[in-house]
Amino acid sequence: MNMASMDALSESAEMMIKNINELAADDKRVRTSDLASKTELKPATVTEMIQRLGDLGLVDYEAYHGVHLTKQGQHVADVIEHRFNILERFLTEILGVEGNEAAEVACRMEHVLTRDVEHKLTIFLGIDPKKESELFCHKINIDEETKPRYLPLSNFKEGNVGTVKLIFEDDKLSKILSEQGVRPGNKLMLKKIEDSVYNLETEKGNFSLDRETASKIIIQNQ
């Protein structure tokens, strides 16, 4: 299954593939009763959906013996998982969204993410594009213990140095920040965090911000 045909899958079909993949263990078949319990769907509905996925060559299903993903089905599951991971990472690391909310939003967005946007997010997050396959069909390991390429200033640690990349703020405050040396392209260092106040050192000197403002400044790690 290529990316064009995958884009034609419905959200419910992708979610069923995702659930099969999550329930699978040691290549064993997944019982339809377990899928019905996990999805809160009627067993007959689950069976019908699985049969449709079988017609597409995405699952191998045998009545009373359960279901498992085919090679093409695993490909789809891997792409969905990758989309979820990069969306969750973008939401938490770049936008500062809390974990549970980020996971919920990422789960919704993973089904509408285009390949082009997926690729751009991969690049933005600093994931090596060489790890992508030609069909973008393999999982990309973004759980490595590597330093994120971009972070909100509010996630910086004392002593960190970085370059301002983006500022999500109105023109008035952006102008004030710029006058203090906090503008895209400029380097800064987080000297100290005290009582949710971020003390910075910029080319203009020392400057302090509250946490809310710091969360709207995206920094590229050095």
Task: For residue range 45-79, list pLDDT tens digits in order.
Answer: 999 999 989 888 889 998 888 999 988 888 888 88
Residue 3, pLDDT above cutoff 80:
no
What pLDDT does 18 receive? 93
| CA–CA dist 183, 205 (Å, integer) | 14
What mean pLDDT is reported for the chain? 81
Residue 129 is classified by DSSP as G
Percent of the chain topping pLDDT 90: 32
CA-CA distance, 73 to 58, in Å (whole number)? Answer: 4
- d(C-alpha 83, C-alpha 153), whole Å: 25
**10: alpha, beta or left? (left if phi > 0; alpha if psi -120 to 50):** beta
Tell me which architecture the domain covering 1-145 has in CATH.
Orthogonal Bundle (1.10)
pLDDT category, 34, cuts 50, 70, 90?
A: very high
| Domain locations in the chain as residue ranges | 1-145, 150-221
- Packing angle of the helix pair 11-23, 43-55 (nearest 10 deg): 100
Query: What's the pLDDT tens digit per position in 166-222?
Result: 777 667 778 888 889 988 889 999 999 998 899 999 998 998 988 888 887 888 877
CATH 3.40.50.300 fits 150-221, yes or no: no
Mean pLDDT of 100-123: 87
- Helix (H) or strand (E) holding 188, with range, is strand 187-194
What's residue 112's pLDDT? 85
Q: What is the pLDDT of residue 141?
A: 39
93: which 2 tokens? 């690391």
Per-residue model confidence (pLDDT) at position 117: 84
Give kind and range of the element (H or E) at residue 153. none
The tally of CA atoms less than 13 A away on the side-chain side of residue 45 is 11
Per the CB < 8 A criterion, the answer to whether 66 and 76 are in contact is no
Q: Is pLDDT of 99 > 60?
A: yes
